Amino acid sequence: MRLKNIITIIFLGILVGSCKKVLNKNPLDSLTPQQAFATDQNLQLYTNSFYQMVPSAQAIYGESGSLEGYYFQGNIISDNTGWTQTNPYLGSGFTSRNSQGWSWGSLRNINYFLAHYQEAKTTDDRKNMYAGIARFFRAWFYYDKVKMFGDVPWYSDVISSSDSALLYKARDPRTLVMDSVVADLDFAIANLSATKDNSSSMITKWTALALKSRVCLFEGTFRKYHTELNLTGSADKFLQQAADAAQQVMNGGQYKLRNTGNSLNDYRSLFISASPLNEEVILARLYSNNLKIWHGATGFFSDFGKYQTFLVKRFVNTYLNKDGSRFTDNPDYNTTLFKDEVKNRDNRLSQTIRTAGYKRSNGLAAPPNLGAARTGYQVLKYSLDDPIYDLNGQCYNSIPVIRYAEVLLNYAEAKAEVGTFTNNDWDISIALLRKRAGITNTDMPTTMDTYMQTNYYPEISSIATMEIRRERAIELVEEGFRYDDLRRWKKGNLLEKPKDGMHVPQLNQLMDLNEDGTPDVYFYTTTAPSPQVPGVYYYKIDGTAIKLSDIDKGRILWQTNIVNSYPNYKYFGPLPYNELVINKKLVQNEGWDHP
C-alpha cells in the first residue's frame, strides 16, 4: 500500500475518533512509515479507521443483489419477509457478471497496520491491544467472505503490487481460513480491554467473545448440515467454541437483557434510542443529530418506503400467545382477522409491526398501510414515531449490531446442536427472552410444534432445537440474520415458499384494521369504487401478481407470478466474472457461469 493511502487512513481515523490534536507537525506527505506508527496515539488513530467496517444503515447493493449494506434490510433474502421488489439472486438471471464483494481494500489496511504496529514507542500491552482490534476486524472481514464465497485466498501479510504469485494465487481451503479467523479472535480476546465500553461503539474483549460465538455457531452448523463438504467431524469443535465464548460473556456480568418490566416497550426501545442501551447492546453503529450523521430507516419502513420489507403470515403465526401457548393450536389460525390475531400475543409482535393501538408521535392512529406493506404486516421496529422522519432521511437512532440477546441464542443453539442442552440452559437463555416479551409461561415445551415441523423444519426432532429456532427468528427478525441462518442450516428451500399475508374475509368491503372506527383498506378485483373514502387504501387483487388463497377470500398471496429458485449451488455466491478473467488460478463455484 502506498504511503499516501496510509496518511488518508490516519486522517480518517482522526475524524472517526473526534480527535482534535494534530498528528504531526511535519507535512503529511513527508511522513515515513516509522513516523506514521511512532506513538500510541498514532496506533489509536489508525485503528479508529477500522470502525468504518462496522455494518451501516446505508443502502449498498451487495454480492447477492440485495441491499446488504442496509443493516436492517439483511432479511431481504428471507422466507419470513416479503419485499416490494423482486430479488435477482432468487431468480434465474443472476450470473457472475452481477456478483460483487470480491474486494480487499479493508484487508490491506489491516495487514499494513499489523506489519508496522510494533514500531510504536509504547508498551507491549498497548501494542497488543491495538493489534487485537486489527485482528478482530480481519476476522470479521474473512467471516463475511467465507459466508459469501466459501473458499477464499488467505492473506496475513501486505502484498506488493509486484508480487504476482500472491496477488493471483488460488483460493485457500475453508478449513485454513476459518481456523485463522478463530485464531485472530482468540488473540483479540486475550489482548483487548475487559473494561465494558458504555458507548457500545468500541471493540473490547466482550465484543470479540460475542463475535466468536456468532462465527463459530455459523461454521459449526454449516459443517454439520452441509455434509457434502465432508467436514462434519469438526462441526462439534466449532459449536463447543461458540457455546464457550457465549458463556464467557454471560458469566462476565457486563451485559444483560434490557428489562425494565415494561414488556410493551423494552424490546423496541433497543432500536429507536439515540444512544445505545448499553446494558444489552454490545456493539452499535452510532448516528447523531448533533454531528448530522443520519440514516433513513424510518422512511424505509414508512408509508413511503420504496424498498420496504414486511412480514409474512406464515412467520407471524409462529409468535406465541402471551400465556405461552401456540397460536397455531387454534384451528382458525389462518382465518383469524388481523385485528384479532395480533391480540394477546408475544409482545414483540406489537413492537415489530404496526398493530391496533399504534400511534405516531402526533397522536394520530397509524394502522398498517397495505400500499407499502403488501402482506399487511408493516414493520416499525426501527422507525421513529415522529412522521417528520418519514421523508427527510435524518434518523438519528443507533443501530444495534451485536446484542446480548444474540449471545443467549448462540449459547442455546450451540449447546442443543452438540446435545448438551439442559433445562437450566433453557432457563438462563430462552426463558429470559420470553419473559422480557411478556410471556407468562416460559417453561420449555414438552411437545413438538407440528406447525413448525410442517412449515419450516420437518427434519428436526428435538423440541429444544425447534423452540430455539423459533425464538431466534422472532427475537432477531429484520436484524440481518435470517439468510445466514438458512444458509448454515441448509434450508435454502424455504426461500422458494410463497409469501402470504393477512386474511381477507371478503372482497368489496371496507375493513377497519385497528378498531378505531375508521376504515383502512378495501380489497377489489377489477375497478375501485368511486367516490373513494379518504384515508382508505384500495388494494387491487389482480389475479396475477396478487391473489387470495380461496379466490374471493383468504390469505393475501404476494408475487404469485414470481418463481423463486434456490438450488444447492446458491449457498455460495459466484466469484465476479472480471476476477476470473484476471486471475486464472481462481476456479468458479460449482453451478455458476465462468469465462
Give pLDDT tens digits for 529-557.
999 999 999 999 999 999 999 999 999 99
- Cα–Cα distances in angstroms (integers) from residue 443 to residues 172, 327, 345, 432, 468, in the given order: 46, 16, 17, 10, 13
Helix/strand/coil (H/E/C) assignment for every residue in 34-56: HHHCCCHHHHHHHHHHHHHHCCC
Q: What is residue 415's predicted lDDT score, i.e. its pLDDT?
A: 98
Q: What is the percent of the chain where pLDDT is above 70? A: 92
How distant, in Å, are the alpha carbons of 114, 185, 348 from that of 261? 46, 35, 14
How far apart are alpha carbons 379 and 183 in whole angstroms? Answer: 39
3-state SS, residue 435: helix
Q: 222: which 3 cell numbers?
A: 454449516
User: Cα–Cα distance between 87 and 495 in angstroms, integer?
Assistant: 11
Which of the four pLDDT bands, split at 50, 70 and 90, describes residue 74? low
| Better-predicted residue by pLDDT, 87 or 566 | 566
Q: Identify whether the C-beta of residue 81 lies closer than 8 Å to the C-beta of residue 309.
A: yes
Region of 42 on the Ramachandran plot (φ > 0 left; ψ -120 to 50 alpha; else beta): alpha
Q: Please tell me the distance from the alpha carbon of residue 455 to that of residue 460, in angstroms, as a whole number.
A: 12
Asked if the model's pLDDT at residue 143 lies above 80, the reply is yes
What does DSSP say about strands 81-83 and 281-285: parallel, antiparallel, or unpaired?
Answer: unpaired
**In the 8-state DSSP scheme, what is residue 588?**
P
Give the pLDDT confidence score for residue 164 in this predicted structure. Answer: 78
- Phi then psi for residue 57, to 5 deg, are -110, 35
| Mean pLDDT over the full length of the chain | 91
Output the pLDDT for position 31: 60
Q: What is the pLDDT of residue 195?
A: 98
C-alpha count within 13 angstroms, C-beta hemisphere, residue 382: 28
In this prediction, residue 12 carries a pLDDT of 36
**Quick check: 134 and 51 in contact, CB under 8 A?**
no
Q: In degrees rounded to 5, what are phi and psi of residue 160? A: -80, 155
Task: Identify the residue with better confidence: 501 or 88.
Answer: 501
Residues 6+ positions from 510 with CB-CB distance below 8 Å = 519, 521, 522, 533, 536
Q: What single DSSP character describes residue 400?
A: E
Antiparallel, parallel or unpaired: β 281-285 and 399-403? antiparallel
For the chain, the domains span 402-491
Is the per-residue pLDDT at 167 higher than 90?
Answer: no
Is-contact 368 316, C-beta < 8 A?
A: no
Backbone angles phi, psi at 510, to 5 degrees: -70, 135
Please state, in angstroms and rounded to a whole number, the distance separating the CA atoms of residues 520 and 109: 53
Q: 315 and 342 in contact (C-beta within 8 Å)?
A: no
Buried b (16+ CB within 10 A) or exposed e, 110-138: bbbbbebbebbebeeeebbbbbbbbbbbb
Please compute the mean of the pLDDT values over residues 441-450 and round it to a whole number: 98
pLDDT tens across 211-257, in order?
999 999 999 999 999 999 999 999 999 999 999 999 999 999 999 99
Maximum Cα–Cα distance across the chain: 78
* CA–CA separation, 4 and 380 (whole Å): 44
C-beta neighbour count of 251 within 10 angstroms: 8
Confidence bin at 75 (pLDDT 50/70/90): low
Whether 2 shows a pLDDT value over 70: the answer reads no
**How far apart are the C-alpha atoms of 335 and 322, rounded to whole Å?**
20
Hey, what's the cell of 40?
A: 500510541
How large is the average pLDDT for residues 339-360? 97
Confidence tier at 304 by pLDDT (50, 70, 90): confident
For the range 437-442, what are the long-range contacts, defined as Cβ-Cβ under 8 Å and sequence gap of 24 or more? 437/263, 437/267, 437/346, 437/347, 437/348, 438/263, 438/264, 438/322, 438/346, 438/347, 439/320, 439/322, 439/323, 439/324, 439/346, 440/322, 440/323, 440/324, 441/323, 441/324, 441/325, 442/324
Contact 79, 495 (CB under 8 A): yes
Cβ(141)–Cβ(134) under 8 Å? no
**Is the per-residue pLDDT at 19 higher than 50?**
no
* CA atoms within 13 A of residue 142's CA, in its CB half-sphere: 33
**Residue 546, phi then psi, degrees to nearest 5:** -130, 125
State yes or no: pLDDT of 72 exceeds 60: no
Residue 6 has pLDDT above 70, yes or no: no
Q: CA of 459: how far to CAs of 222, 429, 444, 456, 484, in Å?
A: 16, 24, 20, 9, 19
Over range 148-162, report the average pLDDT.
91
